[in-house]
Structure 1
Amino acid sequence: MAFRKFLSSLGVGAPEVETTLNTGAVRPGDQLHFTVELHGGSVDIEVDRVRVQLVTRFEDLEETETSWSNPGIVRSDVIAERFPLRAGKTVSSQVTVPVPWETPLTHILGGRPLKGARVAVRTELSIENAVDPGDFDEIQVHALPAQDALLQAYANLGFRFDEAEVKKGTPKGGQNSRADFWQEIEMWFPPEYRRPGGQLESIFFARHDSLDLVTGSYGPFSFPYDHIDAPGWTAWLDQHLRSTFQR
């Protein structure tokens, strides 16, 4: 039963939940700080739990290429359980949630939006097993410096970015990932790679000290954060892609 229909059946004025983010932009591995406020309705109620989730757009869970109605969960935390919410009263809580290293990117190359990539904070309020999705706030997830260095290398070599897709499961090369999903960044080959109209799918598996890159079905190739060598990485990527995809 829908949450507000459930409350209406009890003759209860619906409570409200509001989430205020301290910042709307983070990177994988950061901490996301925000305030959750619950505003009581017309009568006292008992709240079962308040849950905060970091969600993303899963390509295979949506009906169309642009819909954003059935997000998948990146991280889920219960921040409060079993407490009374008095009529007309406001309960406020400061919340800190770690941003997983595997969180999909929404912005790359210093702030450029990535087509098809969406991430949000969703705050759920549950009363007697009826769940209200509550507040839904989109955030920007910017690339790590090492990710941006490799993506800039692609751009320097003439690759054009198309879109990003998040899919469920674990692809080849993702054995070091703890997540049950991955993000593909799709880009168009430049003419000199002799693949007119062809696309390359690249995947980044980030960790606290390094990341793995998978190009198509090749990899993983590891890149450390403590020694970002942009010219060297560009040269390596050029040699790798030419030897792999020009045959």
Structure 2
Amino acid sequence: MVFKKMLGAFGVGGPSVDTVLSNPSTRPGLVLGGQVNLTGGSHDVEIDHITVGLVARVEIDGAEEEYDALVEFHRIQVAGGLHLREGQQLSLPFQVAMPWETPVTDLYGQHLHGMTMGLRTEVAIRGAIDKGDLDPVYVHPLPVQERILEAFGRLGFGFKGADLERGHISGLHQNLPFYQEVEYYAAPQYAHDVNEVELTFVANEHGVDVVLEFDKRGGLFTGGHDSYGRYHAAHADADRVDWAAQVDTWVRQALDGYQSLHTGHGYA
């Protein structure tokens, strides 16, 4: 995707920007490359800086109600201290290292409903800042994440949606100010125990922590409650493990053991 627009903050005759990604599809831990193409307007300008930032739509609990907001979670400076002459054309390359915790937006060519992510270009000319339109970015899962997501499908869980929640998962090292929840309807073999399952990945260079939260059904004399499980999967095990069997084991352990009492899992 490409956006090209006059920089509205600088009025008629100002420069225009055209940001192009080499490939908008990427994975956590990889590099997203592209270039910012500037065209000078009808007069010379001094550019203080040009940055690009990764932004995502995050669900935020407000004082009155929940609302969504675009949150920038990683940015780099493309250039600074530029003198752009009238009509001059500049092409400025950049590379953005995708954080390991970057949430997944696409799986097998299908967009995950509820996910919005993109790259936003910011141009500052002597105190006036223009934030460009979003250039969509499509984040595909790491191999081990893909195998675990595949396993949920093979076990019969039905995909419901995905979103980003502001906050941190207690007990886990987390760099980003939000975490992703991938929501499933329970597979038939677990439906007598649970209504829905929420899956969260927190990745780093070694592997991923996998957090499962279950909305458990209530019994005749008991109310429903949430149950939790927390596990770890190494990147190196992506093709070494029967993930359907592993996920089944995780789910049954969490449902049988009511692991929230044991793992210290919670949201802060």
Give me the TM-score of the superposition, normalised by structure 1. 0.86
User: Which of 199, 202, 217 matches 1:202?
Assistant: 199
Partner of 1:52: 52
- The Cα of 1:200 is off from its aligned counterpart by 1.0
Partner of 1:237: 247
Counterpart of 1:35, as a letter, is Q
Counterpart of 1:222, as a letter, is H
CA contact (8 A) 1:28 1:141 kept: yes
Partner of 1:112: 110
- The Cα of 1:230 is off from its aligned counterpart by 6.6
3-state SS of 2:96 partner: strand
Distance 1:238 1:211 in 2: 18
Distance 2:90 2:180 in 1: 37
The correspondence of residues 131-150 of structure 1 with structure 2, limited to 5 A, is 131-150=129-148
Counterpart of 2:188, as a letter, is P
Counterpart of 1:245, as a letter, is L
Partner of 2:91: 92
Partner of 2:208: 211
Give the 3 Å change call, closer, same or farther, for CA 121–52 of structure 1 in structure 2. same
- The Cα of 1:51 is off from its aligned counterpart by 0.9
Distance 2:243 2:168 in 1: 26
3-state SS of 1:75 partner: strand
Cα distance per residue 1:150-174 (max 9 Å; x no partner): 011111111011111112210235x
Q: Mean alpha-carbon deviation: is it higher for 28-37 or for 222-231?
A: 222-231
Partner of 2:10: 7
CA contact (8 A) 2:51 2:77 kept: yes
User: Which of 219, 223, 232 matches 1:222?
Assistant: 232
CA contact (8 A) 1:189 1:199 kept: yes
The correspondence of residues 56-95 of structure 1 with structure 2, limited to 5 A, is 56-60=56-60, 70-95=69-94
Distance 1:36 1:105 in 2: 25
Counterpart of 1:124, as a letter, is E
Q: Which has the higher contact order (CA 8 A, sep 6+)?
A: 1
Partner of 2:165: 167
- The Cα of 1:132 is off from its aligned counterpart by 0.9
Distance 2:44 2:161 in 1: 47
What is the Cα-based RMSD across aligned positions, in Å? 2.5
Give the 3 Å change call, closer, same or farther, for CA 115–124 of structure 1 in structure 2. same
Percent sequence identity is 34
Distance 2:34 2:234 in 1: 31
3-state SS of 1:57 partner: strand
* Uncovered stretches (5+) of structure 2, i.e. residues with no partner: 1-6, 214-226, 259-268
Cα distance per residue 1:179-200 (max 9 Å; x no partner): 2211111111023213588221
3-state SS of 1:60 partner: strand
CA contact (8 A) 1:18 1:134 kept: no
CA contact (8 A) 1:56 1:104 kept: no
- The Cα of 1:14 is off from its aligned counterpart by 2.1
Give the 3 Å change call, closer, same or farther, for CA 51–131 of structure 1 in structure 2. same
- The Cα of 1:15 is off from its aligned counterpart by 1.1
- The Cα of 1:214 is off from its aligned counterpart by 0.2
Distance 1:60 1:232 in 2: 36
Number of residue pairs matched by the alignment = 236
3-state SS of 2:250 partner: helix
Q: Mean alpha-carbon deviation: is it higher for 206-215 or for 222-231?
A: 222-231
Counterpart of 1:7, as a letter, is F
Q: Mean alpha-carbon deviation: is it higher for 122-131 or for 27-36?
A: 122-131
